[in-house]
Amino acid sequence: MYARKILDGIHEIGIQDWGRRLFDSLIPLPDGTSYNSYLIEGSEKTAIIDSVDPEFADQYLANLSEIAKVDYIISLHSEQDHSGSIPMLMELYPSAELLCSPKAKDLLVEHLLIDPTKLSTVSDGETISLGDKSLTFIYTPWVHWPETMVAYLKEDRVLFSCDFLGSHSAGSELFDDDDPAVLEAAKRYYAEIMMPFKSAIRQNLGKIRPLKIDFIAPSHGPVWNHPEKIISAYEDWVSDRVENKVVIPYISMHGSTQKMVDHFSRELIKRGVKVELFDLSVTDIGKLAMALVDAATIVIGSPTVHVGPHPIVANTAILANAIKPKARYAAVIGSYGWATKMVDGILALLPNLKVEVLGSVVAKGQAKAASLDELTQLAELIYLKHRDI
């Protein structure tokens, strides 16, 4: 058996996926990830909260080898990296009751072909007793699927939060231990997965704020033994606060857009505006997503391919539109050879962004003095807009 003790009767029994480098075939995982599963042993009953990615079912089975009886299997979230080994758990512990939220029932049936008669749903605020420990379920929809919920163990002040408040990283350390790298991984995770659901997260944070919490046990990454750190970070990330910062994702093919980006970024820096540049031909899109969490402005730079945006820029615009950063302002800069509809093409990809478009600067061929002057004026406009932040 493999188990890491959080407190008496509470162990983490999941998997470290050290080698995974991509999630959803999209999101970079520079430090791997973990699929945390929790064993809760009360004086009368035993529960397992969430399972692991089915790719690791054999290793998970070995982790469970000394657990003779389980009364409850609890699914806080139906996505397969946590639910995928639940069918195996149900075979291993046929008398266990599978508990989930009502919205999860259909998802577990559809995704894992679980017999619906084997599922029991719990209501919002319902508590089950394990004897000297109890678990109270709190619906926290849209972190990041509609069915998600958390479980609160009040006797030990532990909140089991599944994806919510988690971080993608594999490691031997069980707890965050105030390591800034864990918070950075959590911000990356928030940016990539949670950011589109800011208003739901705000409401969910309001539900867990009144709880007395010593530990937050998510389904990815270390257990938070400094829970205030991640809760207050989330409160900031979902707030309306933005930084005096311009994020500039761009591509350059023959150097003209690069020259424009360099001039523009220097004009911003001269004015005391923070800039973060991302050359999309080499960038880690996770870092770009993190930069977008609190940037006031996004300026997209693109050359023209045929008459539209460069496909890599278009791809990034689609991603930015999907993760819905709270930026207040946007602009497009770039270049073209003989004709262009690049600016319209990019803006059409950003309907979800609630931004004021401050303008565009587009150069034919080499960026010459007139275009550089326009970029200087755009930098000044952004500086003036940011003074109100």
Q: Using CB under 6 A, list all residues that contact ligand FEO.
A: 77, 79, 81-82, 144, 163, 219-220
Comparing every residue's Cβ against ligand FEO, the nearest one is 79
CB of 126 to ligand FEO, least distance (A): 23
CB of 48 to ligand FEO, least distance (A): 17
> What are the CA-CA distances from residue 324 to residues 73, 192, 310, 313, 366 (Å)?
34, 10, 21, 16, 33
CB of 79 to ligand FEO, least distance (A): 4
Question: Whose Cβ is closer to ligand FEO: residue 50's or residue 294's?
Answer: 50
Question: Whose Cβ is closer to ligand FEO: residue 77's or residue 259's?
Answer: 77
Eight-state DSSP code of residue 383: H
- What is the C-alpha separation between 319 and 324, in angstroms, rounded? 9
Per-position DSSP letters for 62-91, written without gaps between them: HHTTT----SEEE-S--SHHHHTTHHHHHH
By the 8 A CB rule, do 286 and 28 touch?
A: yes
By the 8 A CB rule, do 81 and 55 touch?
A: no
Question: Whose Cβ is closer to ligand FEO: residue 163's or residue 176's?
Answer: 163
- What is the C-alpha separation between 273 and 260, in angstroms, rounded? 17
CB of 233 to ligand FEO, least distance (A): 19
- What is the C-alpha separation between 363 and 367, in angstroms, rounded? 5
Question: Whose Cβ is closer to ligand FEO: residue 33's or residue 265's?
Answer: 33
CB of 168 to ligand FEO, least distance (A): 9
By the 8 A CB rule, do 229 and 175 touch?
A: no
User: ∠ CA(32), CA(84), CA(109), 5° rounding?
Assistant: 145
CB of 317 to ligand FEO, least distance (A): 24
Question: Whose Cβ is closer to ligand FEO: residue 147's or residue 374's?
Answer: 147
Question: Whose Cβ is closer to ligand FEO: residue 176's or residue 267's?
Answer: 176
By the 8 A CB rule, do 150 and 162 touch?
A: yes
- Work out the angle between the directed axes of helices 369-386 and 256-270 (0-180°, nearest 10): 40
CB of 83 to ligand FEO, least distance (A): 9
By the 8 A CB rule, do 18 and 54 touch?
A: no
Question: Whose Cβ is closer to ligand FEO: residue 169's or residue 265's?
Answer: 169
